[in-house]
Structure 1
Amino acid sequence: MKNFFKLLNFEVNRIFKLYLTLIGLIIVSQFIGAIVVSKVYMNDADQVMYKNQLSMSQYIKEYGVSPFHRFIESGWFMMPIFFSIAMLMIYVFFIWYRDWFGKNTFIYRLLMLPTERITIYLAKLTTVMLLVLGLVTLQILLIPIEIQIFNSIIPTDLQSHFSFYDIYSLRMWGWLYPKTLTEFILIYGVGLIFVTVLFTAILIERSYGLKGIFFAIIYGMLSFGVLFVPILVNEFDSGYFYALEVFLMELVMSVIVLSSAIWIANHLLKNKIRV
């Protein structure tokens, strides 16, 4: 366990500066966006009131108050999120290939450490999940601040009553921020399995060279096929199984895919990847 935390700390430190840059990009983009979107809204509202000779109350009656959704659905808010997701997806591959193709082939130094090699795998996996959860937590903290920035520019009469929970009207938000513990475990559990399968596929490719690319693709397709087979079967049978039955089958399949991915990775690290 001590070696695991040392490796975890090492992996986090390697990405920390880039991660802070990503956090800074999100904060700056969204804060500027909250200001820009609110000012554009006020400019449009002022023009409409001036052109149509409307009072504030008449404008509100005809057009309503300012929706914070204007900002939530804008590129200022969404683009940093999508960019962060893309960067983390790239990092899933980079966290391994950097060690193989970086200076002095660092992977061999890692594999020669006096610890179980699977510990390296688990440390990298935990690092990726911590990065994801860190950004999710950051966004939770930013929303109330952005609401305050938005409302500081919009007059009180034009402000809409918007809370963090209102963002669940956006479908994507339900995936990023599950409402219940069960949904959280399901969604982020699938994410964990996805990263685990990709990690193992990378090790397959590294173990078998050019043939490994083919083996890795087949492995990935089989893993995700097994993972989603209960849902697919239920769809083809027009909902033959109860929701609880589908959930339990998915749980079993998830355990099988996750455990098999870790077992295969452990086998490859011990017996196929030589130093």
Structure 2
Amino acid sequence: MNLLKLLGWEVERLTKPYLILITLLVVTQFAWLGVFLWSETNMYEEMRRAGTPDYTLTFGNYLGGTPFILSIGVAVTAMVFFSFWIWYRDFQGRGTFMMRLLLMPQQRMLVFGAKLVTMMLMILGLFSVQWIALKLQYIAFSSWLDSQMIPMSGSFEQAIGYDRAFSVMFPASLFNFFVHQVLIAIAVLFIFAFVLIERSLWQRTVLAPFLALLMIGVVVVVPMIGFFIIENYLFMEETLAVFTLILVIWFIGVVWIGHRQLTKKLSV
């Protein structure tokens, strides 16, 4: 069994729920766009009749709406859930195929790698779909305001840049995008490590989730405590170097935890 076959298998298993998530995300956002434009148009018409049409809209007003923010929150929550589910569904169902793979120690890290790549592909795919949806929403937004002669200010890039969530998803530079993807990958690896620790302990204690959370918490918190202690004594370049070192420690640490749990501790 090679990595590409495992990757294809993992992607196939998650395709249906992933497409459902994408569909719900896009439909919700366009539905909110319609409601937003209808509401703002009515408000502008009332102000125009009252003789006070001094009213300017930006695309950021639409992005700041509660339904839109909730749609992004649901998408992020779904990615976190998928990061857990991609492991738990194998263990909960005691699938024959997964059991055969886990009985062969030399194949276990291939399973780990396939699941990690699958999650990163899903996250990048979500970012891509969201970017296309945002572009289409901006076109519809600006076209409707022009047709109704409602003043509009600001550009698409400005609206995206002012929003913190989108500045993480779509940073201004390729380097920042790479850094953000590394941080996301480390977050996914922490979830993987938690699941593997919990699965290796669950047959021995009912406290497995709490112990797993404690172990992962130590890996996260200890380097950060050290960073905050010495942060005030560092220059900007030194701060960046130390933070980069912490990222490397986290990455190596969670991969080592995953390898150890899969090859040494996890029983099937």
What does residue range 30-179 of structure 1 map to in structure 2 within 5 Å?
A: 30-50=29-49, 52=50, 54=51, 59=53, 62-63=54-55, 65-102=56-93, 104=95, 107-112=98-103, 116-156=107-147, 157-166=149-158, 167-179=160-172
Count of residues in Structure 1 that have an aligned counterpart in Structure 2: 263
Match of 1:117, SS state, is helix
Deviation at 1:43, TM superposition (A): 0.5
Q: Which residue does the alignment assign to 1:273?
A: 266
User: TM-score, normalised to structure 1's length?
Assistant: 0.87
CA distance in 1, matches of 2:155, 2:144: 17
> Does the Cα contact within 8 Å between 1:227 and 1:254 map onto a contact in 2?
no
Distance 1:89 1:215, change over 3 A: same
After superposition, give the CA deviation of every residue in 1:212-271 in whole Å (9 maximum; x if it has no partner).
Answer: 434412221121124424541245xxx321121111112122212211221222122122
* Aligned pair partner of 2:218 in 222, 225, 229: 222
* Aligned pair partner of 2:234 in 227, 230, 241: 241
CA distance in 1, matches of 2:266, 2:94: 19
Query: Which amino acid letter does the alignment assign opposite residue 173 of structure 1?
Result: F
CA distance in 2, matches of 1:205, 1:25: 32
Deviation at 1:273, TM superposition (A): 2.0
Query: Which amino acid letter does the alignment assign opposite residue 165 of structure 1?
Result: E
CA distance in 1, matches of 2:8, 2:223: 31
> Does the Cα contact within 8 Å between 2:59 and 2:155 map onto a contact in 1?
no
> Does the Cα contact within 8 Å between 2:116 and 2:188 map onto a contact in 1?
yes
Identity %: 29
Unaligned runs of 5+ in 2: none
> Does the Cα contact within 8 Å between 1:175 and 1:187 map onto a contact in 2?
yes
User: TM-score, normalised to structure 2's length?
Assistant: 0.89
> Does the Cα contact within 8 Å between 1:151 and 1:159 map onto a contact in 2?
no
Distance 1:104 1:116, change over 3 A: closer
Q: Which residue does the alignment assign to 1:19?
A: 18
CA distance in 1, matches of 2:4, 2:144: 46
Match of 2:152, SS state, is coil
Deviation at 1:184, TM superposition (A): 2.2
> Does the Cα contact within 8 Å between 1:177 and 1:184 map onto a contact in 2?
yes
After superposition, give the CA deviation of every residue in 1:189-234 in whole Å (9 maximum; x if it has no partner).
Answer: 2221121122112111111222543441222112112442454124
> Does the Cα contact within 8 Å between 2:171 and 2:177 map onto a contact in 1?
yes
Distance 1:164 1:181, change over 3 A: same
Q: Which residue does the alignment assign to 2:257?
A: 264
Point out the more displaced range, 135-144 or 148-157.
148-157
> Does the Cα contact within 8 Å between 1:4 and 1:119 map onto a contact in 2?
yes
Point out the more displaced range, 89-98 or 72-81.
72-81
Unaligned runs of 5+ in 1: none
> Does the Cα contact within 8 Å between 2:145 and 2:152 map onto a contact in 1?
no
After superposition, give the CA deviation of every residue in 1:98-137 in whole Å (9 maximum; x if it has no partner).
Answer: 1111264653133246953111011111111111111111
Are 1:193 and 2:186 matched, yes or no? yes
CA distance in 1, matches of 2:59, 2:250: 41
